[in-house]
Structure 1
């Protein structure tokens, strides 16, 4: 029997595309993804570095960016179409979401790329507008997906800026009052996921095992202390769960020269 076609989707908060574009070669060499989803590209659409990325072999590119912060992009070996009906989340036009349809084996796959607001430092809606925006964004996203029951062949990836499980952070007890792991954020993210999705990485890694994708720049020896959080996620609709064939968290990328504080996450499906 011939092997079923694969689809590898990688997601990475690159933390400035123009600064770190050369590191995409290392990602490609390590993971050989068919699709690369980027967050925090920090580049307006008119300055997107198409020429610098052309050598990487991803002929199909979509992006939504702005100057200095936020921004999302998709680099794909597969043909794609960009949806023109994606919401303007919280009416801020802050370029945190991109929806494309991939011409994938076996039929189209809808791919959502998200960059959820970080939320500032104070976990208080009244005192911190950034935290309020984050909670509102997550709630609005959850409501939007809840209004679309029966989604199929859909993948959602990105820097969701929330570590929902006890072992998605280095210390559940010490981080309960730290933005990214507060009960309000966790409840919102879980409600969003449960509208339509399964956590594809935790499909492979049991919930009682520590798992991180981000380590702070402030930590001088991040490997020794290993005070990480799992902020970067990949979800799939239940119909795609049987197609899940593997995952990779490219932890070594945290040591790349001038690397991001996030590392790439990849899922592989056989379609």
Structure 2
């Protein structure tokens, strides 16, 4: 099974890019974040034409939004709110063909501009969101189940997950508090970080190049914000991992690129 995740930064604005990606990558399941569209306006007909007739969508007009698209049916799907906020940041499915496999698509809050929970409620929201994910992973004993979490987790946890650790270590997305939270979440679920399973931690690996610096992609000023993690029952089935960085060089691209994982 080939599974992809992509913060597409508006599915309607990036529909041609999405079509080009799935034609080349041929995933069975795609998890999207920042779809930025209310459910009635989601481009369902286009997804049918692209080979994804099975969908779970949870959108908001102009912001947030997640979707899971598949070429095969779901046995079930559901959504949860996190940290008391009814925003569209989570969806989960169980594929009909793999009834013991849970796929959880997450869009973790970015956290705002300042790493201060008192001055910046958005940062408090982000830490609280991750804390709730950690409690879920621990209390529901995810380590004993076949669970994959994937999406834009909005934290670059390792020094080699950013282009310049010394310059960035106090910026939201790479602060010690966030990196420690992510380590706690990973430990609570017994998760394998799939990216670092295939690419050693001493090598730089990125999935996001921001818009603010016009040459960020050309100069490789990247961060690794998009992740795929699996619990122990799935780790032996990991077959392949790819970061589709070429999509960042397309015309009017998303600032994130797809990550693709194969399960054998």
TM-score by length of 2: 0.96
CA deviation after TM superposition for structure 1 residue 82, in Å: 3.8
Matched ranges for 1:81-96 at <5 A: 81-84=75-78, 86-96=79-89
State the distance in 2 between where 1:233 and 1:49 align. Answer: 25
Counterpart in the other structure of 2:124: 132
Matched ranges for 1:32-51 at <5 A: 32-51=26-45
CA deviation after TM superposition for structure 1 residue 240, in Å: 1.0
Contact kept, 8 Å, 1:103 with 1:109, in 2: the verdict is no
Is structure 2 residue 148 aligned with structure 1 residue 180? no
Counterpart in the other structure of 1:116: 108
TM-score by length of 1: 0.93
CA deviation after TM superposition for structure 1 residue 176, in Å: 1.1
Contact kept, 8 Å, 2:91 with 2:104, in 1: the verdict is yes
Which consecutive unaligned segments of at least 5 residues does structure 1 have? Answer: 1-6
Contact kept, 8 Å, 1:21 with 1:53, in 2: the verdict is no
CA deviation after TM superposition for structure 1 residue 249, in Å: 0.2
Contact kept, 8 Å, 2:47 with 2:53, in 1: the verdict is no
Which consecutive unaligned segments of at least 5 residues does structure 2 have? Answer: none
CA deviation after TM superposition for structure 1 residue 244, in Å: 0.5
State the distance in 2 between where 1:198 and 1:168 align. Answer: 16
Contact kept, 8 Å, 1:9 with 1:36, in 2: the verdict is yes
Is structure 2 residue 245 aligned with structure 1 residue 248? no
Contact kept, 8 Å, 1:62 with 1:82, in 2: the verdict is no
Contact kept, 8 Å, 2:148 with 2:231, in 1: the verdict is yes
After superposition, what is the alpha-carbon deviation per residue over 1:159-190, rounded to whole angstroms, capped at 9, x for unaligned? 00000011000111111110000011111111
Secondary structure of 2:4's aligned partner? strand
Secondary structure of 2:187's aligned partner? helix
Stretches of 4+ moved more than 3 A in 1? Answer: 81-84
Counterpart in the other structure of 2:94: 101
Contact kept, 8 Å, 2:76 with 2:95, in 1: the verdict is no
Matched ranges for 1:16-27 at <5 A: 16-27=10-21
Q: Over aligned residue pairs, what C-alpha RMSD do you find?
A: 1.3
